[in-house]
Amino acid sequence: MINLAGRDILHAWGRFVLTGIGLGLLIGVTLSMAGIYRGMVDDAQALLGNSGADLWVVQKDTLGPYAESSSIRDDLYRSLLGMPGVARAANVAYLTMQVTRGGADVRVMLVGFEPGQPGEPGYLVAGRPVTRNHYEVVADVKTGFRLGERVRVRRHDYTVVGLTRRMVSAGGDPMLFVPLKDAQEVQFLKDNDALINERARSAANPQLNRPGVPGLLEAIQASQASSHNVNAVLVQVKAGVDPEQAAAGIRRWKHLEAYTRVQMADILVARLIATSARQIAMFLVILSVVSAAIVAFIIYTMTLGKIREIAVLKLIGTRNRSIAGMILQQALGLGLIGFVVGKTVATLWAPFFPKYVLLEPGDALRGFVIVMLICALASTLAIRAALRVDPASAIGA
Protein backbone atom coordinates (compact mmCIF):
# COMPACT_ATOMS: atom_id res chain seq x y z
CA MET A 1 0.00 0.00 0.00
CA ILE A 2 1.17 3.48 -0.78
CA ASN A 3 2.31 5.58 2.17
CA LEU A 4 0.05 8.57 1.62
CA ALA A 5 1.66 10.64 4.40
CA GLY A 6 5.16 10.12 3.01
CA ARG A 7 4.05 11.01 -0.52
CA ASP A 8 2.29 14.15 0.68
CA ILE A 9 5.36 15.19 2.66
CA LEU A 10 7.62 14.62 -0.35
CA HIS A 11 5.18 16.56 -2.53
CA ALA A 12 5.41 19.66 -0.33
CA TRP A 13 8.73 18.92 1.37
CA GLY A 14 9.95 22.53 1.33
CA ARG A 15 7.03 23.81 3.35
CA PHE A 16 7.16 20.76 5.58
CA VAL A 17 10.88 21.03 6.29
CA LEU A 18 10.73 24.79 6.89
CA THR A 19 7.85 24.25 9.30
CA GLY A 20 9.84 21.48 10.97
CA ILE A 21 12.83 23.78 11.34
CA GLY A 22 10.64 26.47 12.91
CA LEU A 23 9.22 23.95 15.31
CA GLY A 24 12.73 22.59 15.89
CA LEU A 25 14.01 26.00 17.02
CA LEU A 26 11.20 26.10 19.55
CA ILE A 27 12.04 22.58 20.71
CA GLY A 28 15.70 23.64 20.86
CA VAL A 29 14.76 26.45 23.25
CA THR A 30 12.75 23.96 25.32
CA LEU A 31 15.63 21.50 25.50
CA SER A 32 18.00 24.33 26.39
CA MET A 33 15.72 25.41 29.24
CA ALA A 34 15.81 21.87 30.59
CA GLY A 35 19.60 21.90 30.06
CA ILE A 36 19.91 25.14 32.03
CA TYR A 37 18.09 23.56 34.97
CA ARG A 38 20.26 20.44 34.74
CA GLY A 39 23.30 22.70 34.56
CA MET A 40 22.26 24.50 37.73
CA VAL A 41 21.84 21.21 39.59
CA ASP A 42 25.14 19.97 38.19
CA ASP A 43 26.85 23.21 39.21
CA ALA A 44 25.57 22.68 42.74
CA GLN A 45 26.76 19.09 42.76
CA ALA A 46 30.13 20.17 41.35
CA LEU A 47 30.43 22.82 44.04
CA LEU A 48 29.92 20.22 46.74
CA GLY A 49 32.06 17.60 45.04
CA ASN A 50 34.97 19.93 44.40
CA SER A 51 35.10 21.09 48.01
CA GLY A 52 36.16 17.60 49.09
CA ALA A 53 34.23 18.01 52.36
CA ASP A 54 32.04 15.56 54.22
CA LEU A 55 30.68 18.22 56.57
CA TRP A 56 30.13 21.97 56.36
CA VAL A 57 30.41 23.60 59.77
CA VAL A 58 28.82 27.04 59.81
CA GLN A 59 27.36 29.67 62.11
CA LYS A 60 24.50 28.33 64.24
CA ASP A 61 20.98 28.78 62.80
CA THR A 62 22.24 29.59 59.34
CA LEU A 63 22.01 27.58 56.13
CA GLY A 64 25.71 27.70 55.49
CA PRO A 65 28.15 29.54 53.30
CA TYR A 66 26.30 29.19 49.96
CA ALA A 67 22.74 29.99 50.92
CA GLU A 68 23.15 32.45 53.80
CA SER A 69 25.77 34.62 55.39
CA SER A 70 27.81 32.68 57.95
CA SER A 71 30.64 33.98 60.08
CA ILE A 72 32.66 31.89 62.52
CA ARG A 73 36.06 32.35 64.15
CA ASP A 74 39.03 31.05 62.20
CA ASP A 75 40.48 29.13 65.16
CA LEU A 76 37.42 26.89 65.49
CA TYR A 77 38.92 24.34 63.17
CA ARG A 78 41.44 23.39 65.86
CA SER A 79 38.77 22.32 68.30
CA LEU A 80 36.89 20.55 65.51
CA LEU A 81 40.00 18.51 64.81
CA GLY A 82 39.69 17.22 68.33
CA MET A 83 36.14 15.97 67.80
CA PRO A 84 35.55 12.23 67.44
CA GLY A 85 35.58 11.01 63.87
CA VAL A 86 37.07 14.19 62.36
CA ALA A 87 40.08 13.57 60.14
CA ARG A 88 40.70 16.99 58.62
CA ALA A 89 39.23 20.45 59.07
CA ALA A 90 40.02 23.60 57.14
CA ASN A 91 38.75 27.17 57.02
CA VAL A 92 37.17 28.56 53.89
CA ALA A 93 35.87 31.96 52.94
CA TYR A 94 33.48 32.66 50.08
CA LEU A 95 32.71 36.00 48.53
CA THR A 96 30.78 36.74 45.34
CA MET A 97 32.19 39.84 43.72
CA GLN A 98 33.00 41.59 40.46
CA VAL A 99 36.54 41.74 39.11
CA THR A 100 37.66 43.54 36.01
CA ARG A 101 39.24 41.93 32.99
CA GLY A 102 40.08 43.93 29.91
CA GLY A 103 37.71 46.69 30.98
CA ALA A 104 34.80 44.29 31.38
CA ASP A 105 33.34 43.10 34.65
CA VAL A 106 33.58 39.40 35.44
CA ARG A 107 31.35 38.09 38.18
CA VAL A 108 33.23 35.51 40.22
CA MET A 109 33.10 33.69 43.50
CA LEU A 110 36.28 34.36 45.42
CA VAL A 111 37.28 31.34 47.50
CA GLY A 112 39.81 31.62 50.29
CA PHE A 113 41.39 28.25 51.07
CA GLU A 114 44.33 26.70 52.78
CA PRO A 115 46.60 24.87 50.33
CA GLY A 116 46.56 21.11 50.81
CA GLN A 117 43.30 21.22 52.77
CA PRO A 118 39.64 20.61 51.88
CA GLY A 119 38.33 23.51 49.82
CA GLU A 120 41.23 23.78 47.42
CA PRO A 121 40.57 23.35 43.67
CA GLY A 122 40.09 19.68 42.92
CA TYR A 123 42.35 19.64 39.88
CA LEU A 124 44.19 21.96 37.53
CA VAL A 125 44.04 22.03 33.76
CA ALA A 126 47.06 24.35 33.43
CA GLY A 127 49.73 25.99 35.57
CA ARG A 128 50.48 25.12 39.19
CA PRO A 129 48.74 25.25 42.57
CA VAL A 130 48.96 28.29 44.85
CA THR A 131 52.24 27.99 46.76
CA ARG A 132 52.58 31.43 48.37
CA ASN A 133 50.56 32.92 51.15
CA HIS A 134 49.56 36.02 49.19
CA TYR A 135 48.67 37.38 45.80
CA GLU A 136 48.46 34.18 43.83
CA VAL A 137 45.24 32.93 42.29
CA VAL A 138 43.92 29.83 40.58
CA ALA A 139 41.07 30.74 38.22
CA ASP A 140 38.32 28.74 36.60
CA VAL A 141 38.72 28.89 32.81
CA LYS A 142 35.22 30.38 32.54
CA THR A 143 36.55 33.61 34.06
CA GLY A 144 38.56 34.07 30.87
CA PHE A 145 41.79 34.70 32.73
CA ARG A 146 45.02 33.24 31.34
CA LEU A 147 48.13 32.03 33.09
CA GLY A 148 50.36 34.89 34.19
CA GLU A 149 47.58 37.45 33.87
CA ARG A 150 47.20 40.01 36.66
CA VAL A 151 43.85 40.24 38.46
CA ARG A 152 42.88 43.27 40.50
CA VAL A 153 40.92 42.28 43.63
CA ARG A 154 40.06 45.25 45.84
CA ARG A 155 43.37 46.93 46.69
CA HIS A 156 45.77 44.26 45.45
CA ASP A 157 46.91 42.65 42.23
CA TYR A 158 47.04 38.86 42.02
CA THR A 159 48.85 36.68 39.51
CA VAL A 160 47.02 33.79 37.86
CA VAL A 161 49.27 30.78 38.50
CA GLY A 162 46.83 27.97 37.66
CA LEU A 163 43.66 27.26 35.78
CA THR A 164 40.90 24.87 36.76
CA ARG A 165 37.59 23.84 35.25
CA ARG A 166 33.96 23.33 36.41
CA MET A 167 34.64 25.15 39.68
CA VAL A 168 31.56 27.32 39.95
CA SER A 169 29.25 28.67 42.61
CA ALA A 170 25.68 27.48 43.01
CA GLY A 171 24.73 30.45 40.88
CA GLY A 172 27.12 29.35 38.13
CA ASP A 173 29.73 32.07 38.76
CA PRO A 174 33.26 30.81 38.05
CA MET A 175 35.61 30.65 41.03
CA LEU A 176 38.85 32.44 41.84
CA PHE A 177 40.88 30.57 44.47
CA VAL A 178 43.11 32.76 46.63
CA PRO A 179 44.98 32.09 49.89
CA LEU A 180 42.66 32.22 52.91
CA LYS A 181 44.33 35.27 54.49
CA ASP A 182 43.83 37.25 51.31
CA ALA A 183 40.20 36.22 51.11
CA GLN A 184 39.63 37.23 54.72
CA GLU A 185 41.16 40.57 54.02
CA VAL A 186 39.06 41.09 50.94
CA GLN A 187 35.92 40.01 52.73
CA PHE A 188 36.23 41.62 56.16
CA LEU A 189 38.73 44.43 55.97
CA LYS A 190 37.84 47.96 55.02
CA ASP A 191 39.59 50.37 52.69
CA ASN A 192 42.11 52.94 53.96
CA ASP A 193 39.68 55.86 54.16
CA ALA A 194 37.21 53.78 56.11
CA LEU A 195 39.97 52.64 58.48
CA ILE A 196 41.15 56.21 59.14
CA ASN A 197 37.58 57.29 59.72
CA GLU A 198 36.98 54.35 62.07
CA ARG A 199 40.17 55.11 64.04
CA ALA A 200 39.15 58.73 64.43
CA ARG A 201 35.71 57.71 65.67
CA SER A 202 37.27 55.29 68.17
CA ALA A 203 39.73 57.94 69.39
CA ALA A 204 36.86 60.38 69.88
CA ASN A 205 34.88 57.86 71.94
CA PRO A 206 35.72 58.36 75.66
CA GLN A 207 34.61 54.82 76.41
CA LEU A 208 37.37 53.43 74.15
CA ASN A 209 40.02 56.12 74.65
CA ARG A 210 40.42 56.29 78.40
CA PRO A 211 43.31 58.35 79.66
CA GLY A 212 43.81 55.97 82.54
CA VAL A 213 44.09 52.84 80.41
CA PRO A 214 47.13 53.12 78.18
CA GLY A 215 47.19 50.78 75.17
CA LEU A 216 43.41 50.21 75.10
CA LEU A 217 42.78 52.42 72.08
CA GLU A 218 45.67 50.86 70.14
CA ALA A 219 44.38 47.36 70.92
CA ILE A 220 40.87 48.26 69.74
CA GLN A 221 42.20 49.87 66.57
CA ALA A 222 44.37 46.85 65.86
CA SER A 223 41.35 44.54 66.18
CA GLN A 224 39.47 46.73 63.71
CA ALA A 225 42.25 46.36 61.14
CA SER A 226 42.46 42.59 61.24
CA SER A 227 39.99 39.75 60.66
CA HIS A 228 39.80 36.33 62.26
CA ASN A 229 36.52 35.24 60.79
CA VAL A 230 35.78 32.72 58.06
CA ASN A 231 32.50 31.56 56.49
CA ALA A 232 32.77 27.86 57.17
CA VAL A 233 35.01 25.03 58.21
CA LEU A 234 35.13 22.11 55.82
CA VAL A 235 35.50 18.79 57.60
CA GLN A 236 36.53 15.40 56.32
CA VAL A 237 35.59 12.49 58.58
CA LYS A 238 37.69 9.44 59.22
CA ALA A 239 37.11 6.36 57.12
CA GLY A 240 34.09 4.38 58.33
CA VAL A 241 32.65 7.24 60.34
CA ASP A 242 29.06 8.23 59.62
CA PRO A 243 29.11 11.96 58.70
CA GLU A 244 25.70 12.47 60.36
CA GLN A 245 27.07 11.09 63.61
CA ALA A 246 30.08 13.44 63.46
CA ALA A 247 27.75 16.35 62.58
CA ALA A 248 25.53 15.57 65.57
CA GLY A 249 28.51 15.80 67.90
CA ILE A 250 29.56 19.15 66.47
CA ARG A 251 26.04 20.55 66.78
CA ARG A 252 25.77 19.39 70.36
CA TRP A 253 29.11 20.39 71.80
CA LYS A 254 30.27 23.31 69.67
CA HIS A 255 26.98 25.17 69.31
CA LEU A 256 27.52 25.33 65.56
CA GLU A 257 25.54 24.14 62.59
CA ALA A 258 26.98 21.18 60.72
CA TYR A 259 25.58 19.94 57.43
CA THR A 260 26.34 16.66 55.74
CA ARG A 261 26.78 16.46 51.98
CA VAL A 262 23.20 15.22 51.52
CA GLN A 263 21.82 18.07 53.61
CA MET A 264 23.94 20.63 51.81
CA ALA A 265 22.83 19.25 48.43
CA ASP A 266 19.25 19.58 49.62
CA ILE A 267 19.86 23.21 50.62
CA LEU A 268 21.39 24.01 47.25
CA VAL A 269 18.94 22.16 45.03
CA ALA A 270 15.70 22.30 46.99
CA ARG A 271 16.07 25.82 48.34
CA LEU A 272 18.55 27.86 46.31
CA ILE A 273 17.61 26.49 42.89
CA ALA A 274 13.97 25.75 43.66
CA THR A 275 12.60 29.10 42.51
CA SER A 276 14.66 29.00 39.33
CA ALA A 277 13.52 25.43 38.76
CA ARG A 278 9.88 26.44 39.10
CA GLN A 279 10.53 29.35 36.75
CA ILE A 280 12.06 27.01 34.20
CA ALA A 281 9.29 24.45 34.65
CA MET A 282 6.78 27.21 33.92
CA PHE A 283 8.68 28.09 30.75
CA LEU A 284 8.74 24.43 29.75
CA VAL A 285 4.98 24.17 30.17
CA ILE A 286 4.41 27.35 28.15
CA LEU A 287 6.80 26.22 25.40
CA SER A 288 5.12 22.82 25.28
CA VAL A 289 1.70 24.41 24.93
CA VAL A 290 3.00 26.80 22.25
CA SER A 291 4.62 23.87 20.39
CA ALA A 292 1.38 21.90 20.57
CA ALA A 293 -0.59 24.90 19.32
CA ILE A 294 1.83 25.41 16.42
CA VAL A 295 1.76 21.73 15.40
CA ALA A 296 -2.02 21.64 15.72
CA PHE A 297 -2.38 24.80 13.64
CA ILE A 298 0.02 23.62 10.94
CA ILE A 299 -1.44 20.12 10.65
CA TYR A 300 -4.96 21.51 10.76
CA THR A 301 -4.32 24.01 7.96
CA MET A 302 -2.48 21.35 5.94
CA THR A 303 -5.51 19.09 6.34
CA LEU A 304 -7.98 21.83 5.43
CA GLY A 305 -5.94 22.38 2.27
CA LYS A 306 -6.61 18.76 1.33
CA ILE A 307 -10.32 18.57 2.12
CA ARG A 308 -11.27 17.89 -1.52
CA GLU A 309 -8.62 15.15 -1.83
CA ILE A 310 -9.77 13.63 1.46
CA ALA A 311 -13.37 13.63 0.24
CA VAL A 312 -12.26 11.88 -2.97
CA LEU A 313 -10.17 9.39 -1.00
CA LYS A 314 -13.15 8.59 1.21
CA LEU A 315 -15.47 8.33 -1.75
CA ILE A 316 -13.25 5.85 -3.57
CA GLY A 317 -13.06 3.68 -0.50
CA THR A 318 -10.11 4.76 1.62
CA ARG A 319 -10.61 3.72 5.22
CA ASN A 320 -11.02 6.40 7.87
CA ARG A 321 -8.13 4.91 9.76
CA SER A 322 -5.90 5.28 6.68
CA ILE A 323 -6.78 8.97 6.47
CA ALA A 324 -6.31 9.42 10.21
CA GLY A 325 -3.03 7.53 9.93
CA MET A 326 -1.86 9.83 7.15
CA ILE A 327 -2.49 12.93 9.28
CA LEU A 328 -0.99 11.34 12.39
CA GLN A 329 2.12 10.27 10.48
CA GLN A 330 2.53 13.79 9.13
CA ALA A 331 2.24 15.24 12.63
CA LEU A 332 4.77 12.73 13.94
CA GLY A 333 7.03 13.43 10.96
CA LEU A 334 6.87 17.12 11.77
CA GLY A 335 7.70 16.29 15.38
CA LEU A 336 10.61 14.10 14.32
CA ILE A 337 12.09 16.80 12.10
CA GLY A 338 11.47 19.34 14.86
CA PHE A 339 13.13 17.18 17.46
CA VAL A 340 16.21 16.45 15.32
CA VAL A 341 16.57 20.15 14.53
CA GLY A 342 15.88 21.11 18.15
CA LYS A 343 18.39 18.66 19.58
CA THR A 344 21.01 19.73 17.05
CA VAL A 345 20.63 23.45 17.65
CA ALA A 346 20.43 22.98 21.43
CA THR A 347 23.73 21.06 21.29
CA LEU A 348 25.31 23.66 19.01
CA TRP A 349 24.35 26.71 20.99
CA ALA A 350 24.76 25.23 24.49
CA PRO A 351 28.47 26.24 24.80
CA PHE A 352 27.58 29.87 24.04
CA PHE A 353 25.32 30.20 27.07
CA PRO A 354 27.00 32.14 29.87
CA LYS A 355 25.99 29.45 32.36
CA TYR A 356 26.52 25.73 32.10
CA VAL A 357 23.89 23.95 29.99
CA LEU A 358 23.79 20.22 30.60
CA LEU A 359 21.91 18.30 27.91
CA GLU A 360 21.34 14.85 29.32
CA PRO A 361 20.49 11.92 27.00
CA GLY A 362 17.66 10.98 29.36
CA ASP A 363 16.14 14.45 28.99
CA ALA A 364 16.50 14.20 25.21
CA LEU A 365 14.71 10.85 25.24
CA ARG A 366 11.96 12.19 27.46
CA GLY A 367 11.78 15.28 25.24
CA PHE A 368 11.43 13.07 22.16
CA VAL A 369 8.57 11.11 23.72
CA ILE A 370 6.84 14.32 24.86
CA VAL A 371 7.25 15.93 21.42
CA MET A 372 5.74 12.86 19.78
CA LEU A 373 2.87 12.80 22.27
CA ILE A 374 2.24 16.50 21.74
CA CYS A 375 2.27 16.03 17.97
CA ALA A 376 -0.09 13.07 18.21
CA LEU A 377 -2.38 15.09 20.46
CA ALA A 378 -2.15 18.13 18.21
CA SER A 379 -3.14 16.06 15.18
CA THR A 380 -6.47 15.04 16.73
CA LEU A 381 -8.06 18.34 15.72
CA ALA A 382 -7.07 17.79 12.08
CA ILE A 383 -8.06 14.11 12.20
CA ARG A 384 -11.44 15.10 13.59
CA ALA A 385 -11.90 17.59 10.74
CA ALA A 386 -10.84 14.99 8.16
CA LEU A 387 -13.15 12.30 9.51
CA ARG A 388 -16.04 14.73 9.36
CA VAL A 389 -15.50 15.30 5.65
CA ASP A 390 -18.52 13.93 3.80
CA PRO A 391 -17.51 11.74 0.85
CA ALA A 392 -20.59 13.13 -0.87
CA SER A 393 -18.87 16.50 -1.07
CA ALA A 394 -16.58 15.03 -3.74
CA ILE A 395 -19.61 14.44 -5.96
CA GLY A 396 -20.39 18.12 -6.04
CA ALA A 397 -23.64 19.38 -4.66
Partner 1 sequence: MSETGIRIEGLKKRYGHGEAAVDALKDVNMIVAPGEVVGLIGPSGSGKSTLLKCLGAVIEPTAGRMWLGDELIFDDGWKTSDLRALRRDRIGFVFQAPYLIPFLDVTDNVALLPMLAGQPNALARRRAAELLAALDVGHRAAARPSALSGGEQQRVAIARALANQPPVILADEPTAPLDSERALGVMRILNDMARQYRTAIIVVTHDEKIIPTFRRIYHIRDGQTFEEAGEGRAL
The residue ranges that bind partner 1 (CB under 8 A) are 1-2, 4, 7-8, 10-12, 308-309, 312-319, 322, 390-392, 394-397
- Whose Cβ is closer to partner 1: residue 68's or residue 309's? 309
Query: 3-state class of 157 per DSSP?
Result: strand
Cα-Cα end-to-end distance for the chain: 31
Question: Alpha-carbon distance 393 to 397, whole Å?
Answer: 7
Give min distance, CB of 126 to partner 1, in A: 59
Pairing of strands 150-153, 136-140: unpaired
Give min distance, CB of 326 to partner 1, in A: 10
- Whose Cβ is closer to partner 1: residue 273's or residue 313's? 313
Long-range residue pairs from 93-96, CB within 8 A, at least 24 positions apart, any chain: 93/180, 93/183, 93/184, 93/187, 93/230, 93/231, 94/65, 94/66, 94/169, 94/231, 94/232, 95/183, 95/186, 95/187, 96/169, 96/171, 96/173
Query: 3-state class of 127 per DSSP?
Result: strand
Give min distance, CB of 327 to partner 1, in A: 13
Give min distance, CB of 394 to partner 1, in A: 7
Give min distance, CB of 4 to partner 1, in A: 8
Give min distance, CB of 383 to partner 1, in A: 17
Question: Alpha-carbon distance 315 to 376, whole Å?
Answer: 26
- Are 88 and 117 in contact by the 8 Å Cβ rule? The answer is yes
Query: 3-state class of 319 per DSSP?
Result: coil
- Whose Cβ is closer to partner 1: residue 252's or residue 319's? 319
- Whose Cβ is closer to partner 1: residue 291's or residue 330's? 330
- Whose Cβ is closer to partner 1: residue 145's or residue 300's? 300
- Whose Cβ is closer to partner 1: residue 6's or residue 144's? 6
Which residue, 96, 93, 122, 118, is CA-closest to 107? Answer: 96
- Whose Cβ is closer to partner 1: residue 265's or residue 307's? 307
Give min distance, CB of 301 to partner 1, in A: 16
Give min distance, CB of 173 to partner 1, in A: 55
Give min distance, CB of 387 to partner 1, in A: 13
Which residues have C-beta within 8 Å of that of residue 89, sequence separation ≥ 6? 57, 77, 80, 81, 118, 233, 234, 235, 236
**Which letter does DSSP use for residue 273 in this model?**
T
Query: What are residue 218's phi and psi, to 5 degrees?
Result: -65, -40
- Are 45 and 169 in contact by the 8 Å Cβ rule? The answer is no
- Whose Cβ is closer to partner 1: residue 241's or residue 324's? 324
Question: Alpha-carbon distance 149 to 157, whole Å?
Answer: 10
- Whose Cβ is closer to partner 1: residue 15's or residue 190's? 15
